[in-house]
Amino acid sequence: MTELPEKFTSRMRTLLGGEYDAFISCYNNPPVRGLRVNTLRIDAESFFDISPWRLEPTHILDEGFIVHGADNVGRHPYHVAGLFYMQEPSAMSAVAASPADGSGLRVLDLCAAPGGKTGGVAAKMRGRGILVANEIVPKRARLLAQNMERLGVTNASVINAHPEAIASALPRFFDIVMVDAPCSGEGMFRKDVGAIAEWSPEHVKACAERQSLILESAAECVRGGGCIVYSTCTFSEEENESVIESFLSRHDDFSVEFSERLYPHTSCGEGHFVCRMRRDGNSFEARAGIPPLKDKATLRLLDDFMSDMLENGLPDGIIHMAGGKIRLIPHDMPAEVLKLHPVTCGIELGEPRKGRFEPSHTFFMAALEGFSREVGFPSDSSELFRFLSGNTVPCPNELRGYCRVTVNTEHGAFPIGFGKAVDGTLKNHIPKGLYIN
C-alpha cells in the first residue's frame, strides 16, 4: 500500500466515517488511467471502434473512457492527430459540470494548463463563441497552446496573465469561468509520490488561501446570469466546501447550482471536487473586438493562398496580424486579450515572406474542412512514421504545393501536420520540436 501521511489518514477517517475502510483499501490498487475522446475530431463511438487499446466508459463524461494497456501513448499517430487527450477520469467531472454547449458563449479558463479541461470545454463549444485560456507560468502556457493546437481548437486565445489582471481588463464579461484551482493534490497520492512528500496541514491551509483569492478574480469576470465552475483534485474540506462557503458569505449574489465529490472508492479515477455557482441577474458587458488587418497587399496574398488551399475558403472571423503572424480570430474575441500576454489567439494561419505566403503548422492542424490537397497514410504505415520523424516521403507526381498530411482510418482522415509536394516527394514541414523519433 502507498504510505500516506498519518495526519492525512486521520483527517480522512473523520471526513468519511464508515466509508474510510473502503476508501483506504483503494490504495492497494494501481491508479486508473483515463482518455477523453476529442469530439472536435471524432465522435466517441467511432474512436471506440478504432482504438488500439481496450476502453471502458467512465460514466462521468460520455466521451470519457478508462484505458487499459496504453503504452507510449504520446507517440501514437492518433495522439499526434488530436483524437484524444489523456485525462484522469474523475477530472472529467469539471468538464461535465460546465454548461458550455450553448452557441456564442464566452468562456474563461482561469487556471488552464496543461489543457485537459480546456480542451474538453472547447469540444463542447464546437468552435462557437470564444474561449480564453489562462496560465500564469510562461512555460506551462506554451504547453497549453501546443495542446490546443494538437486538438484543433479554433476559437481560443491562450494568455499568460495574473488572475487579477484579467479581472481588471474584462470585468463581468464571461458567461462561464472555469477555476481548476491549484491544490494540495490529495487526489493524486496514488499516482504521484511527489504530492505525498509536499503534503502537510500547513500546505492545505496555504492552498485554501490562494484558492479564495483566485475565486475573487473569477467573480469579477462573471457576468450576471453566468457561472463559476470550481474544481480541485483534493479531498480536504478546507479547500473545497470551506472555500465555497467563505466565498458565498462575501458574495450574496451567487448560489450553488451543483456540487459533487468523487472518491476512488465511489467512482473511477483518483478523486475530485466540483462545484458550479450561478450569479444572479442577467447583465451583459460588451467589448470592442480585435482590429482587423488592413494592408491590401498582404490580404490579397492571404486570399490567393486560401482560395487555392481551402475549397470553401476560411470561416468567418477577423484577420489580424501581430509579430509578423497572420491569425484568424473570432469576431467576439475582446481586444483586451492583446494586453494580457497572449501566447496565441485564434488560428495562426502563417506569415508573408518576400511576396509569398508561408502557412503555419497550426493552420493545418485546425479543425477545418475542405482542404484541396491532402496526403494520407494508414496508422501503421512506415511512410507515416517516417514523416512523423521529420523525413520526406513519396507522394503522387502530379501533386504540387502545400498539402495537409493525415492519418487515415475507416472513420475519416485526421491531420498530423503538413508538407510540400515537389516532383513526387513530400517535403516535411512539421516543426522540429514535434518530431517523433
Cα first-last separation, the chain: 37
* 207 is a catalytic site residue: no
Are both 382 and 338 inside the same structural domain? no
Cα→Cα distances 108→127, 150, 381, Å = 15, 20, 40
Cα→Cα distances 100→96, 116, 310, 333, Å = 9, 15, 29, 16
Q: Over range 17-30, report the average pLDDT.
A: 95
Are both 267 and 303 inside the same structural domain? no
Are both 191 and 331 inside the same structural domain? no
How many C-beta atoms lie closer than 10 Å to residue 135's C-beta?
25
Domain end among 279, 313, 343:
279
With respect to residue 231, please indicate whether it lies within any of the assigned structural domains: yes
pLDDT beyond 90 at 148: yes
Domain end among 315, 332, 365:
365
With respect to residue 1, please indicate whether it lies within any of the assigned structural domains: no
pLDDT beyond 90 at 58: yes
With respect to residue 67, please indicate whether it lies within any of the assigned structural domains: yes
Rounded CA-CA distance 104/73 in Å is 34
Decide: 124 and 266 in contact? Cβ < 8 Å: no
Q: Over range 56-72, report the average pLDDT.
A: 93
Query: For residue 1, what pLDDT is reported?
Result: 60
Compare 355 and 183 and report the one with higher pLDDT: 183
Are both 17 and 99 inside the same structural domain? yes
Are both 351 and 382 inside the same structural domain? no
pLDDT beyond 80 at 68: yes
With respect to residue 124, please indicate whether it lies within any of the assigned structural domains: yes
Catalytically annotated residue among 111, 183, 233, 395: 233
pLDDT, tens digit, 9 for 90 and up, residues 281-335: 998 888 999 999 999 999 999 999 999 999 999 999 999 999 999 999 999 999 9
pLDDT beyond 90 at 193: no
With respect to residue 264, please indicate whether it lies within any of the assigned structural domains: yes
Query: For residue 133, what pLDDT is reported?
Result: 98
pLDDT, tens digit, 9 for 90 and up, residues 89-126: 999 999 999 999 888 899 999 999 999 999 999 999 99
Are both 149 and 208 inside the same structural domain? yes
pLDDT, tens digit, 9 for 90 and up, residues 370-422: 999 999 999 999 999 999 999 999 999 999 999 999 999 999 999 999 999 99
Query: For residue 71, what pLDDT is reported?
Result: 82
pLDDT beyond 80 at 2: no
Decide: 120 and 9 in contact? Cβ < 8 Å: no
Query: What grid cell was written down for 247?
Result: 466565498
Query: For residue 284, what pLDDT is reported?
Result: 82
Edge-to-edge strand list for the sheet holding 174-180? 254-262, 272-279, 222-232, 174-180, 106-109, 130-134, 156-159, 342-345
Are both 193 and 332 inside the same structural domain? no
CATH number assigned to the domain comprising residue 430: 2.30.130.60
Query: For residue 435, what pLDDT is reported?
Result: 95
Q: Over range 40-62, report the average pLDDT.
A: 97
Are both 274 and 300 inside the same structural domain? no
Are both 352 and 206 inside the same structural domain? no
CATH number assigned to the domain comprising residue 49: 3.40.50.150
pLDDT, tens digit, 9 for 90 and up, residues 240-292: 999 999 999 999 999 999 999 999 999 999 999 999 999 999 988 889 999 99
With respect to residue 107, please indicate whether it lies within any of the assigned structural domains: yes
With respect to residue 284, please indicate whether it lies within any of the assigned structural domains: no
Query: 325 lies in which domain range?
Result: 296-365
Are both 300 and 418 inside the same structural domain? no
Q: Over range 214-237, report the average pLDDT.
A: 98
Percent of the chain scored above 90 by pLDDT?
A: 93
Q: What burial class does residue 45 get, using C-beta atoms within 10 Å of its C-beta: 0-12 exposed, 13-18 middle, 19+ buried?
A: exposed
Query: What grid cell was written down for 273?
Result: 471536487
Rounded CA-CA distance 380/315 in Å is 33
How many C-beta atoms lie closer than 10 Å to residue 369's C-beta?
9
The amino acid that residue 118 corresponds to is T
Cα→Cα distances 380→256, 278, 377, 383, Å = 49, 48, 8, 9
Which pTM value belongs to this model?
0.96
Query: For residue 55, what pLDDT is reported?
Result: 96
pLDDT beyond 80 at 342: yes
Name the band, by pLDDT with cuts 50, 70 and 90, for residue 49: very high
Q: Over range 203-227, report the average pLDDT.
A: 97
Are both 48 and 112 inside the same structural domain? yes
Domain end among 365, 388, 422:
365
Are both 193 and 341 inside the same structural domain? no
Number of domains in the chain: 3
Decide: 236 and 11 in contact? Cβ < 8 Å: yes
Q: What does the mean pLDDT of the chain come to?
A: 96
pLDDT beyond 80 at 211: yes
